[in-house]
Amino acid sequence: MRTPGTTLDVTAADICVSGYAKRVRNVPSAVKRQAYASYGVRSHEPGEYEIDHLISLSLGGSNSIRNLWPESFRTQPWNAYVKDELENELHRRVCAGRIELAKAQYVISHNWIIGYRIYVHTKPTSAQARRKTRSRSRRSYSPPRSQFDPPVP
């Protein structure tokens, strides 16, 4: 796995402070170039990719190269805009006490597409996949505990 995901030593209380992700975001251009190179992306057009945090900063992800990957804005239907929806939903749930931070990190790092289907409950349409993330209504559904339970140490 090229990008296994790494986290910072933070708690839900830390990440739920307004502006947290903005304060910890720091990915130098050289590290971004390294992330592109590790995936064989030698050149790209503006707006084609972003260097994404597999475990988002809003869920305690780190700026380490082990947590960064080039994520497409153009692939359909699973792309950067759609993953952002899951990141936002998991962050809302962590901050509302509806999911443990470690479980949210596990979900997004192990298979974010399945996580999207479980926590966002829809299959993105082409229009959804193209637009910027919009605020979603909160839902009361919680998946069965057997799905995406992180391994117990």
Nearest alpha-carbon partner for 87 in 51, 128, 119, 110: 119
Task: With CA atoms as reference, report the closest residue to 83 among 124, 45, 47.
Answer: 124
Task: Give this prediction's pTM.
Answer: 0.80
Stretch (H or E) spanning 53: strand 49-53
- The CA-based dihedral angle spanning residues 148, 50, 58, 103, taken in that order and rounded to the nearest 10 degrees: 10
Q: What percent of the chain has pLDDT over 90?
A: 75
Q: How confident is the model at residue 121, as a pLDDT?
A: 82
Task: Write the pLDDT tens digit of every residue in 58-93.
Answer: 999 999 999 999 999 999 999 999 999 999 999 999
Position with higher pLDDT, 123 vs 91: 91
